[in-house]
Structure 1
Amino acid sequence: MIFRTAIALALLCALAAPADAQTRAKKLYCWNDANGNRTCGDTLPPGATDLARTEINAASGQQTGQVGRALTAEERAAATAAEARAQADAKAKAEQQRRDLAMVESYATEADLRRAYGERTSLLDDALKASAMAESNLRRSLVVLLDQANNLQLAGRPVPENLLANVRSQHVELGKQQRIILEQRADRASLDAELADALARYNALKNPRPE
């Protein structure tokens, strides 16, 4: 009798154990539907799988997780773009640090660094002077051509087509030269800013401030 009772208890425990484990593992889900109504259940209907939800242990009643809503296509694209920007920024920062270390190793003093930039500055200044001279020559040539055309008109004579063509051509060339000068001035200003930034980084690495 005792033996049969022991067998029966063992069978009951064996049958009860899986059910108890299932109860412990079972989850409840709570979410807000499209109308803002709070809904809970032990399964997620198809319309709720993309909604934000709270997961709760059915046995203990304690919250076990929080799942955010699914992102829209636009949000996923924005997140991907933001991640790409972050990676690009991190790569650029690492590259800048590498260049800064190379700069400190290449130039023993600030004067050496200034001298290196001075060579580039001199080249740009020479180019600007040459461009300014070319612009001045084009301007004088254009003035001469315009005077010739004006004198002919004052004398009541027609202006030859080749003279008009030369005037137009000089106008075009003068405009090109002026654009070149603007670009060179922008390059010169950019180089000055680059030097100032390089000096600041150089001194920060050479003479770090105490914490």
Structure 2
Amino acid sequence: MAEPAYAKKMYRWVDENGNVYFSDQVPPDQVKHKRETLSEKARVLDVLEKAKTAEQIAQQKRLDALRKEQEKIIAKQNANDKVLLSTFRSVEDMNKALNNKMASLDAGQKVIEGNIERIQQQLQQQQQQAANLERGGSKIPPKLLADIAASKQQIDAGKQELLRHQQDRQTTEKEFKADIARFQFLTQPNNEGKPNNGESLAASNARNELGLFVCEDPAQCKKAWIIAAEFVAAHSTTGQDVESEKLIMRAAPQKDDDLSLSVSLLEHNNTLQIFLDIRCRQSSIGNELCSGAKAQSIRQAFAPFIQSSLAAQQ
């Protein structure tokens, strides 16, 4: 039976000393506490969380910002992986595509080199003509001088185009080889030597690569969160900064070789996930550290570490 609209409401709250209060009015000095709105039959009608401190508000903002960035990373990597797995069937297919692409770029380079060589020969003829005129005591016509200048300009432009083409070739080859390595990682058998089972294995490998642990249920996630905190402490070189129910973050890196790890509890499609992030100092050495093999190995070890630790607890 629904409560009458005019039914008198009561409030229940607990202060910082654990004292429980019931009243139809909340004193101004008590509004900071979490409170429940009760009907005359003591049914909870509404719950108002306690007011957050400035520090808690700032921490929540940091968590929200971190979540957004981490969710972007996860979404982008997942999208790239799906394209990769749907485009190619095997490493052999990828190598064949790479060879075809390189052959096409090499053919384009030969065209550019041929154009440069043709203009260089043209320039030699123009310069020879000018030299013959000078030796004969004749004045070099303005048009011939203009043609020589134009040929030199075309050669310079051709060399710049050739350099850009060579750089594009190097970039294309590097990115393609990175895709091949990624494809191999996504489709490799797991550590137990079980055969590749397609997308599920690829998804598992991708999560490991990102430093992402997907919880089976809230109870498992609670245990995994404690293990994740141990992992962060073991692999960070900086002190503790934030530790809450949804974010554990070490202090910002101060030295070039510092590693500052953080984990955040995310919810995606009604599934709880623990995401690992690694920060390094904003310097050339720090950036290289964060993009290098050491940071990558830490990310890849995160989810398996939680899985093995959970298994050991059973």
TM-score, structure 1 length as denominator? Answer: 0.59
CA drift of 1:209 comes to 4.2
CA drift of 1:170 comes to 0.8
Which residue, 155, 163, 167 being the options, matches 2:148? 167
1:99 aligns with 2:99: no
Give the secondary structure class of the aligned counterpart of 2:139: coil
Higher helix share: 1
Q: Which residue number in structure 1 is paired with residue 118 of structure 2?
A: 137
Give the secondary structure class of the aligned counterpart of 2:23: helix
Q: In 2, Cα distance between the equivalents of 1:189 and 1:102?
A: 25
Higher strand share: 2
Q: Which residue number in structure 2 is paired with residue 21 of structure 1?
A: 23
Q: Which residue number in structure 1 is paired with residue 127 of structure 2?
A: 146
- Deviation per CA, 1:147-177, whole angstroms, max 9, x where unpaired? 3223433444211011011112112211221
Q: In 2, Cα distance between the equivalents of 1:177 and 1:96?
A: 35
Identity %: 16
Residue type of the alignment partner of 2:54: G
What is the aligned residue count?
156
CA drift of 1:65 comes to 3.5
CA-based RMSD: 3.7
Query: Which range moved further: 166-175 or 82-91?
Result: 82-91
CA drift of 1:86 comes to 5.8
Q: In 1, Cα distance between the equivalents of 2:67 and 2:119?
A: 52
Going from structure 1 to structure 2, the CA distance change for 1:195 and 1:161 (only over 3 Å counts) comes to same
CA drift of 1:82 comes to 8.2
**Aligned ranges 1:1-211 → 2 under 5 Å:** 21=23, 25-28=26-29, 55=32, 64-68=50-54, 88-103=72-87, 106-107=88-89, 109-210=90-191, 211=304
Query: Does structure 2 retain, via aligned residues, the 8 Å contact 1:56–1:65?
Result: yes
Query: Which range moved further: 125-134 or 148-157?
Result: 148-157
- Which runs of 5 or more residues in structure 1 are unaligned? 1-16, 29-41, 44-54, 58-63
Q: In 1, Cα distance between the equivalents of 2:91 and 2:33?
A: 64
- Deviation per CA, 1:38-90, whole angstroms, max 9, x where unpaired? xxxx99xxxxxxxxxxx469xxxxxx54332899xxxx9xxx99887666544
CA drift of 1:115 comes to 0.6
Q: In 2, Cα distance between the equivalents of 1:152 and 1:27?
A: 103
Larger Rg: 1
Query: Does structure 2 retain, via aligned residues, the 8 Å contact 1:27–1:56?
Result: no
- Which runs of 5 or more residues in structure 2 are unaligned? 1-10, 12-21, 35-49, 192-303, 305-314
Going from structure 1 to structure 2, the CA distance change for 1:135 and 1:82 (only over 3 Å counts) comes to farther
Going from structure 1 to structure 2, the CA distance change for 1:154 and 1:209 (only over 3 Å counts) comes to farther
Q: In 2, Cα distance between the equivalents of 1:158 and 1:173?
A: 25
Q: In 1, Cα distance between the equivalents of 2:86 and 2:52?
A: 48
Q: In 1, Cα distance between the equivalents of 2:169 and 2:114?
A: 17
Q: In 1, Cα distance between the equivalents of 2:82 and 2:54?
A: 40
Name which structure has the greater RCO, CA cutoff 8 Å, separation 6+. 1
- Deviation per CA, 1:13-43, whole angstroms, max 9, x where unpaired? xxxx9xx7266x2343xxxxxxxxxxxxx99
Going from structure 1 to structure 2, the CA distance change for 1:203 and 1:145 (only over 3 Å counts) comes to same
